[in-house]
Amino acid sequence: MPEPSQFMFSYREIAEILVKKQGLSEGIWSLSVNFGMQATNIGANESDLKPSAVVAILSIGLQKVDKETNLTVDASKVNPKSKSRAH
């Protein structure tokens, strides 16, 4: 069986991974994406140029929000605080 060469994640899965990475255990956190845009001319050749925009993803992160959506996770559910044991 061949080795997988690609893994895809839902928005919620990415938010959960980031919440765990940051050690967050309280609050509702939404996936946040910052975009950058650059204007340019694009075409098959110089006589077929069209004004265009190129949009790049500059960063991906988390933002605390008040309600759950398909872009969010509740940190208390996906990364609950560890219960410390008394010795």
User: Which segments of 1-87 are extended strands (E)?
Assistant: 28-42, 50-65, 72-74
- Sheet-wide strand order for 28-42: 50-65, 28-42, 72-74
Q: Give helix then strand counts, H and E, for the chain.
A: 2, 3
Domain count, the chain: 1
Lowest-pLDDT choice from 1-5, 23-27, 37-41: 1-5
> What is the C-alpha to C-alpha distance for residues 46 and 77, in angstroms, rounded to an integer?
55
Q: What is the pTM of this model?
A: 0.79
* Percent with pLDDT over 90 in the chain: 87
Structural domain boundaries enclosing 62: 11-78
Given a cut of 70, is residue 21 above it in pLDDT? yes
Q: Answer whether residue 4 is part of any domain.
A: no
Average pLDDT over residues 28-47: 97
